[in-house]
Amino acid sequence: MNNLTDISGLQPPGNDETIKAMSGLSSQPYKGTRDYYPEDKRIQNYIFQTWRTVSESFGYEEYGAPTLEPLEVYAAKSGDELANQQTYTFTDRGGRIVAIRPEMTPSISRMVAARRQELAYPARLYSIANFMRYERPQRGREREFWQLNVDIFGVDEIVADAELIQMADSLMKQFGAGASDYQIKVNNRTLINYMMAQYLELDASQAQLMVKLFDRKDKISESDFDDQASEILATTANESLDKIKGLMSAKSMADLPVELRNSEATKDIQELFTLLERAGVTNAVFDITLMRGLDYYTGTVFEVFDTDPDNNRSILGGGRYDGLVGLFGAEPISAVGMAQGGTTIENFLTVHKLLPVLSSTTDIYVIALGDVSADAAIVAGELRAKGLNIELDSTTRKLDRQIKTALKKQIPYMLFVGSDEVKSQIYTLKNTLTLDEAKLSLDQIVTLLISSVA
């Protein structure tokens, strides 16, 4: 078959120029997205399974939500940058402006609002889903990304904030990270708002711009920060900039100006740290400059940062957002959530050499020796029926080519089936990593492999 007609039985669409143009299509994925080949999916599935294990160990249950939402779901509270600058939007055939979800928090808030009276509280929910944001691709930041989302609804007290941070800490430990590999930074948006309005005496517009500036302070130079801060502060630049410098040098709540130390928000942070200490979270620190740029946060905000200089960035973030459910016409309900990106944690695991060696999900590669293909297929079927994942080489290639295929696919074992094996019902099983081999019955093979997994 050497043309399109042979492949489909139909005439190919278009003319010769169309076919020529099609032959020049790029093999690269859309900018900011990535392909997941089997070896990549093994890593992703390992990450997903770890996410599920930890989430469910805390009593959270999995949910799903649509990929598309009305744009106003994000415009209402996520902020202009996310809703209008980073969101993929289009008008559907019904004239509705819809968006490919850039995050999950508005969706799960909408879902909770829809069943506000039916859900059992506290409602502990998690999801693993993909998202899209139109932003500049860079290390750890893609236009399409996979993310764990964890939320608890219906707990007003600070214990919910502590639970989410404890869960974040457990996630990192489950991935094999030590306490020195990451740091959990904590702040409070109520304290931030008080700092902006009362301490720095900024109006609402100035405060919003200053929050955005603090949020990206680690991505710009000190001089650029000063210039942009002075522009926001305008006539009070000299005095207020000195105050900001003092805030940025604070290493603990004890270093804060007395006006901020005595605020109610500071008391909440102190209570939070007491709960974290009791829970065994030893590497949480207070950071007055941590903002979390999304507009819907109302209380505690936190981020987990990689301490390795080669990957010094946030790898998990979250906070309290008590007002979002109420935007959907339901009675307001308190909520705390967090999210972790698949690529960011993969980069963390790579930098810290914590990625496990992951082989193929196929257990055995069955190789037929000679004219025994039908018998080899029966053997493969019997092993599958006993719970093993089996790939049968159905080609007539030379033995060395079949062996190379098994090795290239990183399949842990090869099973050789020849006429002698068919008669004796004893087969040669070879470990592709150690090259050890043994002659075993099918039952013995099953016992060996299942016990090795256990």
Model pLDDT, residue 7: 28
High-pLDDT (> 90) share of the chain, %: 69
pLDDT at 4 over 80: no
In the 3-class helix/strand/coil scheme, how is 388-449 assigned residue by residue? CCEEECCCCCCHHHHHHHHHHCCCCEEEEECHHHHHHCCEEEEECCCCCEEEECHHHHHHHH
pLDDT tens for 143-166 read 999 999 999 999 999 999 999 999
Which pLDDT band holds residue 51 (cuts at 50, 70, 90)? very high
Model pLDDT, residue 1: 32
Task: Check residue 13 and report its DSSP letter.
Answer: S
pTM of the full structure: 0.87
Among the candidates 351, 382, 404, a domain finishes at: 351
Answer yes or no: is 75 within a domain.
yes
How many folded domains does the chain comprise? Answer: 2
pLDDT tens for 150-207 read 999 999 999 999 999 999 999 999 999 999 999 999 999 999 989 998 899 898 889 8
215, 325: one domain: yes
Model pLDDT, residue 254: 87
Model pLDDT, residue 218: 81
Which SS3 state, helix, strand or coil, does residue 220 take?
coil
pLDDT tens for 322-357 read 989 999 999 999 999 999 999 999 999 999 999 998
Is the bond into 122 cis (omega within 30 degrees of 0)? yes
Among the candidates 351, 377, 392, a domain finishes at: 351
**What element of type H or E holds 5?**
helix 4-8
Among the candidates 290, 319, 351, a domain finishes at: 351
Answer yes or no: is 25 within a domain.
no
156, 289: one domain: yes
286, 193: one domain: yes
pLDDT tens for 248-304 read 888 888 888 888 888 888 889 999 999 999 999 999 999 998 988 667 889 999 999
236, 321: one domain: yes
Model pLDDT, residue 79: 61
104, 238: one domain: yes
439, 320: one domain: no
**What element of type H or E holds 304?**
strand 300-306
Query: Residue 202's domain is classified under what CATH number?
Result: 3.30.930.10
Q: Which residues contact 198 (CB under 8 A, 6 or more apart)?
A: 259
Answer yes or no: is 93 within a domain.
yes
161, 308: one domain: yes
377, 336: one domain: no
Range of the domain at 270: 38-351
Answer yes or no: is 30 within a domain.
no
List 300's β-bridge partners, or say none: 188
Which SS3 state, helix, strand or coil, does residue 317 take?
strand
Model pLDDT, residue 22: 55
264, 315: one domain: yes
177, 90: one domain: yes
Query: Residue 380's domain is classified under what CATH number?
Result: 3.40.50.800
134, 160: one domain: yes
Region 61-79: mean pLDDT is: 87
Answer yes or no: is 432 within a domain.
yes
Model pLDDT, residue 252: 85
Q: Helix 222-233 and helix 204-215: axis angle, to 10°?
A: 170
Which pLDDT band holds residue 2 (cuts at 50, 70, 90)? very low
What is d(CA 168, CA 338) in angstroms, rounded to the nearest whole number?
A: 8
Answer yes or no: is 28 within a domain.
no
pLDDT tens for 210-260 read 888 988 888 889 899 989 999 998 877 778 888 898 888 888 888 888 888
Answer yes or no: is 10 within a domain.
no
Model pLDDT, residue 83: 67
Answer yes or no: is 15 within a domain.
no
Region 109-124: mean pLDDT is: 96
216, 320: one domain: yes
